[in-house]
Amino acid sequence: MNKRETLRGLYAITDSRLASDSILSQLVELALAGGAKIIQYRDKTDNLKRRCQEAQSLLSLCRAMQVPLIINDDVELAFTIGADGVHLGKEDDDIASARRKLGPEAIIGISCYNQFNKAISARAAGADYIAFGRFHSSTTKPAAVAANPGLLIRARKELNIPVVAIGGITPDNGGPLIAAGADMLAVVHAVFGQPDIRTVCENFRQLFEKPEKMPS
């Protein structure tokens, strides 16, 4: 799996508040069928046994579709199930520690919020992708700091690393973010909070197939 080629498209993030454990696999299967290119398992609860079982189930689905499974915030869980990588936030393990634990082939991403200097540092530390956001009002994280699309434009020009845009993104507002420089659109509620997950993922996929152009 070529990491650089893999890191483009819809990055669908699960949320335990939107899907009970009994239907999570079904919802992720719909997202994959609709064209999600990366799945992130995100569950902030402390039920380790259930989280491990859920993550393992999602890994099997993702393997069948040749789509990477990323674990949110939990390097140990990623290591235990053999996930494709981990996404780190502000309070999580540093990139070097995650790399030592997960190995050179693991995909390690990091949230940079609205801080370009953090993105520079993350790239230097060996991150495989960086994430900026929120770009729009977010249902998942309403208090998250706001980010400007100028970050994406600058990252495309100055950083040779895949870039994720996150925060309130929908098929209606995602196009300009791709045009600005986002390689991936990370989405929670606009995928797993919708009645027709497969169709909304297809709509996101089309944004990448026919990307908008930045105005000259």
> How many angstroms separate the CA atoms of 107 and 102, rounded?
9
> How many angstroms separate the CA atoms of 85 and 81, rounded?
10
141 is catalytic: yes
User: How many other CB atoms are there within 10 angstroms of residue 104's CB atom?
Assistant: 7
111 is catalytic: yes
Tokens linked to 14: 């699960």
- Tell whether the torsion through CA atoms of 194, 89, 48 and 46 is positive or negative: negative
Query: Could you say which of 37, 99, 111, 138 is catalytic?
Result: 111
Closest CA to 159 of 115, 197, 105, 196: 115
- Asked if 110 and 87 count as a contact pair (C-beta separation under 8 A), the reply is yes
154 is catalytic: no
Query: Could you say which of 8, 141, 154, 156 is catalytic?
Result: 141
Query: Could you say which of 8, 42, 118, 154 is catalytic?
Result: 42
Report how far apart, in Å, the C-alpha atoms of 68 and of each of 91, 172, 194, 215 are.
23, 25, 22, 33
> How many angstroms separate the CA atoms of 14 and 54, rounded?
11
Strands 38-41 and 107-113: unpaired
Residues noted as catalytic: 42, 111, 141
